[in-house]
Amino acid sequence: MKLTNEVLICFLVLVAGFTSCKKDEVEGTATQETAGEWYVTADAVKADGSLVEKDVYGLGHFKMGTYNTVDNTPSKMWVDDYGNFWVFKGRVDLNLSDKSFSGKTIKNESADGDEISFDITNGKILKGAAKYPNGTVADSIIFDVKFSDDNPNGFDHYRISGVRYSGLVDND
């Protein structure tokens, strides 16, 4: 009888343990549709939008990111070049319904950046509008950026454009 009670107690403890374990649902952020890492290039562009020079500084493709703010609101997001281009990071206004973003006189909040400001215009994330080198469909990003500490010669601003970073060597 004693063995049966011990078995019964063990069984009840196990059942209670398994039934009390519930998988928590992990929710995304408010900006998850526009958030991500991007593999981009920077081109020099005139004020009228015409291209002056592709890959203006010969950097090739570089990674940058877009992600939610600490407020987790659908109307703001971070744009961050991870120090790979101009060393800039700032919060932009976001229209989540059409995935557009922009901002004027954005304070540079990059830890390694200068105390500059920058403007981002014509920002857009386009779902499924690009292809990786391996042929699979990808999201793309494009925006114009102008820095307060820049005096470009022969052009007005930079156009940053590219695809969502896949992490696959075939797509680099």
pLDDT single digits (tens) 101-136: 999 999 999 988 889 999 999 999 999 999 998 889
Q: Looking at per-residue confidence, does 68 or 19 come out higher?
A: 68
Instruction: Classify 5 as helix, strand or coil.
Output: helix
Quote the radius of gyration of the chain (alpha carbons, Å): 24
Which residue type, as a one-letter code, is found at position 15?
A: V
Judged against a pLDDT cut of 60, whether residue 17 lies above it is answered with: no
Query: Percent of the chain having pLDDT more than 90?
Result: 73
Which residue type, as a one-letter code, is found at position 92?
A: V
Is residue 77 within 8 Å of residue 89, measured between CB atoms?
no
pLDDT single digits (tens) 50-77: 999 999 999 999 999 999 999 999 999 9
Q: E strand or H helix at 20, and its extent?
A: helix 2-20
Model pTM? 0.83
**How many Cα atoms within 13 Å fall on the side-chain side of residue 136?**
10
> Token pair for residue 167?
């992490």
- Mean pLDDT across the chain: 89
* Mean pLDDT, range 10-26, rounded to an integer: 57
91: closest CA among 101, 64, 113, 100?
101
Neighbours of 129 (CB within 10 A): 14
CA angle 135/136/142 to nearest 5° reads 100
